[in-house]
Amino acid sequence: MTIFSDLARTRTSLTGDDLAHVRRLAGSWRHIADLAFSDLLLLAPISGEEAHRFVVLAQVRPTTGQTIYPTDMVGTVVDEIERPLVARCFRQGEILEGDTRALGGGERIRLQCIPVRHGTNLVAVVTREMSTETSRRPGVMERTYHAAFWRFARMISEGSFPFDHEADEPEGSPRVGDGVIVVDAERNVEFASPNAVSCLHRMGIHAYAPGSSLFNIGFDEDVARHAIESRMPVIEEIERGQVSVMLRAMPLLEHRDAVGAIILVRDVTDLRRRDRMLLSKDATIREIHHRVKNNLQTIASLLRLQGRRLRSVEAREALAESERRIRSIAIVHETLSRDAGDVVRFSEIVRPLVRVVEETVSSHDLAISFSVEGDVGDLPGRSRRRWRSSSTS
């Protein structure tokens, strides 16, 4: 979002909550492009030019269709002469559409302009840009996706999308191509895409039929119920036997009232199986480090005992030096044996190392001491991602 912020700050008058609203839209609109089978551009008026010129702040390409903009359009300046529909949409605050050419004088396209409203302010325009050259007749899935897109388009124009306080989409969250289930306000299934039906079958659910409730077909309806009741998106991962499925439910709003939800479904069974294998290998490696540390400490203790029995000063010093080096290596293995999620005090790692260094550089003729002052706090281990979450946090 660095380029986005730079463009918004230097080229537009967006500030405060309006800027945050537009930034949230650019971080959570991937599924809208997939539902539309089209490129989406986010344009904001250039400051001081009274909506005669706009700058492209963000761009998203569909994964369900072909893009008409293989090059990056972010930063492109569009004037009213080239795109009069964009200027009219921003001034009137209404969804408009018409035919034009792609930016840069490309092919003929169908252009739909959606005003972005935040509260009572019109802050930007989203354009849906799709080729007019396709002759493919849309099927039930395409028509359902287009209808869902228009629901989100109206939510954008009403100011109810993006959702308040919603963060960017988590990495690895479900996409439209993974599977889509559309439900009404009573959580009855209106539509399930072929990929979603296949996912239901892998979960052992074979009783799917349009009009059936999620509860009656044996599907966990909590994610949809929570999204509809809270009017906020919800991400959750569920397990059914050996199958792991990630769900992302987004409420469909009309005049701020929830009238249904769209649930994106992704089968993550293979990913979770690999995660468990990695965790098992990680535990094995940590156990190996722990045992190596114990063995090294045993060797260091044996060298210490052997040194006490020697009369030769040089021999005792040689064994003491070897003992210190072995203890240094043992400290490293002790650190590596910690769990990835452990939180340890930084002093617990530094002080033993400082003592070893102090013993190494000191001698009978010259005693050198080190002290550790202050405390930098805790060192967190590698955090693990939790997929069950709500965007209200």
DSSP string, 58-116: EEE--SSS--S--S--TT-EEETTT-HHHHHHHHHTS-EEEEEE-TTT-SEEEEEEEEE
Output the six-digit token pair for 238.
């569920």
pLDDT tens digits along 69-78: 999 999 999 9
State residue 109's pLDDT score.
92
Strands 121-131 and 108-118, how do they pair? Answer: antiparallel
- In sequence order, the 6+-apart residues with CB closer than 8 A to the CB of 20 are none
Gap between the Cα atoms of 210 and 204, Å rounded: 17
CA-CA-CA-CA torsion sign (261, 264, 267, 273): negative
Q: Where in the chain is the domain with CATH 3.30.450.280?
A: 2-158
pLDDT tens digits along 13-24: 999 999 999 999
Q: Where in the chain is the domain with CATH 3.30.450.20?
A: 176-267
Gap between the Cα atoms of 15 and 8, Å rounded: 8
Q: What is the largest CA-CA distance in the chain?
A: 98
- In sequence order, the 6+-apart residues with CB closer than 8 A to the CB of 215 are 187, 221
The CATH number that domain 176-267 falls under is 3.30.450.20
Between the two ends of the chain, the Cα-to-Cα distance in Å is 21
pLDDT band for 146, please (50, 70, 90 cuts).
very high
pLDDT, the chain, mean: 85
H/E stretch holding 318 reads helix 313-336
- In sequence order, the 6+-apart residues with CB closer than 8 A to the CB of 259 are 184, 185, 252, 253
Gap between the Cα atoms of 33 and 263, Å rounded: 16
- In sequence order, the 6+-apart residues with CB closer than 8 A to the CB of 121 are 18
User: Could you confirm whether domain 2-158 is CATH 3.30.390.50?
Assistant: no
Give the residue carrying structure tokens 């296949």.
198
Burial-class residue 235 by CB neighbours within 10 Å (0-12, 13-18, 19+): buried
Please say if the pLDDT value at position 389 is more than 70.
Answer: no
Please say if the pLDDT value at position 247 is more than 70.
Answer: yes
338: nearest Cα among 287, 376, 281: 287
Range of lowest pLDDT (12-21, 290-299, 357-366)? 357-366
Using CA atoms, how far residue 9 sits from 6, 78, 329, in Å, is: 5, 18, 52
DSSP string, 128-145: EEEES---PPP-HHHHHH
What's the pTM value of the predicted model, to 2 decimals? 0.72
Highest mean pLDDT among 78-82, 209-213, 331-335: 78-82
- In sequence order, the 6+-apart residues with CB closer than 8 A to the CB of 104 are none
Highest mean pLDDT among 177-186, 339-348, 381-390: 177-186
Burial-class residue 82 by CB neighbours within 10 Å (0-12, 13-18, 19+): middle
